[in-house]
Amino acid sequence: MADSDLVMYDNEFQKIDGELQRLHQQANANVVFLVDKNGQLIASAGDTHNIDTTSLASLTAGNIAATGGIARLLGEKEFTILFHEGEKDNIHISLIGQRIILVVIFDQRSSLGLVRLRVKKAAEVLGRIFDEITSKAEKEKVEGGKASESPFAEISDEDIDNLFK
Amino acid sequence: MSFINYSSREINCKIVYYGPGLCGKTTNLQFIYKKTNPEQKGKLISLATESERTLFFDFLPLALGDIRGFKVRFHLYTVPGQVFYAASRKLILKGVDGVIFVADSQIERMEANMESLDDLRINLAEQGYAVEKLSYAVQYNKRDLPHVAPIEEMNKLLNVNGVQWFEGVATTGVGVFETLKGVAKQVLLELKKHY
């Protein structure tokens, strides 16, 4: 396969969650969330009750993908920051380490300057955590994986049929 | 590229519906959306033109249930079928786990089917995938229309490797869930091999 799958364990998830909570607070944001480049929501912080985060994640990834396509047409590697300004809410989207998308939604209680500053700091931390995840996955591949914990080890045709009942 | 989250005990996989313009990719998704329980589905998002042609993609998240305590979610996408949206199609294939090729059974659309299949092969190859190694199935759609090509002929033209195929009438739902289930099963069994 071209890309390796993203496998996340509790330990890394807690670290990511902690960093998002901190960013949410320090940037005075409404909502902060992390999406993988293929549109899967990884984690979020803040008031997500009224937001369809799954759709938002997929559309954000589509947005980044389209912008990335434009960048390559212009001979740029990637546009790493997108910013959309609305009447009330604004959205700041940034790409971390070519693989993860950090999204911050904020209103007039914060400012673009503050968000940019805090995002920059958080991006460094998150980038390191995802480096850890990648190296852990590679290590496991070499050592033969964690079969004992895997939900797939004993998956049967019946399990799959049950999903479609 | 699947996303397996041990912390929230979730497995997320991406399935893309590919095929020529007006072959019924969006109709497949609309039927699935219509027939799925509200608690199992998210919003069906369609980025379409005013004339309801897909502009960028359709997206439908499905949470089908649990396997061994893990919530299994499939993210279904369609590509825009029209030839000139080639750049967008490439983007949507990124990180795909399974592909459903929807072919239009009408004889006059056979060339468009073949062109789209070539386009799929090229776009997958650019990302280091091969149709032969991917979870993949073909749906021969619009079987209810007059002037459709016989299945044997379509298999010869569009399914030289003899992969799983289904007859479909997406407007009424014939073959829609069967096709999805076929590919979903392949995706999950592929994960079993790796983890």
For B71, other C-beta atoms within 10 Å of its C-beta total 15
Pick from B18, B192, B181, B4: which is nearest to B92 by CA?
B18
Q: Look at chain B and report how many structural domains it folds into.
A: 1
What is the pLDDT, as a whole number, of residue B148?
97
User: pLDDT: is B165 or A138 the higher one?
Assistant: B165
| pLDDT, tens digit, 9 for 90 and up, residues B132-185 | 889 999 999 999 999 999 999 999 999 999 999 999 999 999 999 999 999 999
- Helix, strand and coil content of chain B, in percent to the nearest 5, comes to 40, 30, 30
The CATH code of the domain at A10-163 is 3.30.450.30
- pLDDT (mean) for A107-131: 96
- pLDDT at B4 > cutoff 50: yes
Banded pLDDT at A23 (limits 50, 70, 90): very high
Report chain B residues whose CB lies below 8 A from the CB of A163.
64-65, 67, 72, 184
Among candidates A54, A65, A159 on the partner chain, residue whose Cβ is nearest the Cβ of B61: A54
- pLDDT at A141 > cutoff 90: no
Distance to chain B for A93, nearest Cα, Å: 18
What is the pLDDT, as a whole number, of residue B149?
97
Beta strands in chain A (DSSP E): 6-8, 31-36, 41-46, 81-85, 90-96, 100-106
Report chain A residues whose CB lies below 8 A from the CB of B76.
none
Contact B42 A39 (CB under 8 A): no
- pLDDT (mean) for B107-128: 95
What is the pLDDT, as a whole number, of residue B162?
95
Beta strands in A10-160 (DSSP E): 31-36, 41-46, 81-85, 90-96, 100-106
Banded pLDDT at A1 (limits 50, 70, 90): very low
Banded pLDDT at A149 (limits 50, 70, 90): low
Beta strand B98-104 with B45-48 is: unpaired
The mean pLDDT of chain A is: 89
- Mark residue B24 as left, alpha or beta (left: phi above 0; alpha: psi -120 to 50; beta: remaining): left
| CA pair distance A164, B184, nearest whole angstrom | 10
The full set of domain ranges for chain A reads 10-163
Pick from B11, B7, B4, B9: which is nearest to A15 by CA?
B7
Beta strand B98-104 with B10-18 is: parallel
- By C-alpha distance, the chain B residue nearest A72 is B87
The string of DSSP letters for A129-145 reads HHHHHHHHHHHHHHHT-
What are A106's strand-pairing partners? A90
Q: Which two tokens stand for residue A70?
A: 């434009």
Please name the amino acid found at residue B134: L
What is the pLDDT, as a whole number, of residue A2?
46
- pLDDT (mean) for B81-95: 91
What is the pLDDT, as a whole number, of residue A148?
46
Please name the amino acid found at residue B87: A
Phi, psi of A10 (to 5 degrees): -55, -40
| pLDDT, tens digit, 9 for 90 and up, residues A39-96 | 889 999 999 988 999 999 999 999 999 999 999 999 999 899 999 999 999 999 999 9
User: pLDDT: is B1 or B172 the higher one?
Assistant: B172
pTM of the full structure: 0.91
- By C-alpha distance, the chain B residue nearest A137 is B195
Report chain A residues whose CB lies below 8 A from the CB of B191.
5, 152, 155
CATH of the domain at B137: 3.40.50.300
- pLDDT at B99 > cutoff 90: yes
Burial classification of residue A124, based on how many CB atoms lie within 10 Å of its CB (0-12 exposed, 13-18 middle, 19 or more buried): exposed
User: pLDDT: is B21 or B127 the higher one?
Assistant: B21
The mean pLDDT of chain B is: 94
- By C-alpha distance, the chain A residue nearest B87 is A69
What is the pLDDT, as a whole number, of residue B159?
96
Q: How far is CA B176 from each of CA A62, B16, B62, B137, rounded to the nearest angstrom?
A: 25, 14, 14, 12
C-alpha B25 chain-centroid distance? 7
CB B73 within 8 A of CB B81: no
Burial classification of residue A77, based on how many CB atoms lie within 10 Å of its CB (0-12 exposed, 13-18 middle, 19 or more buried): exposed
Burial classification of residue A113, based on how many CB atoms lie within 10 Å of its CB (0-12 exposed, 13-18 middle, 19 or more buried): exposed
Question: Residue B66 is part of which domain span?
Answer: 3-194
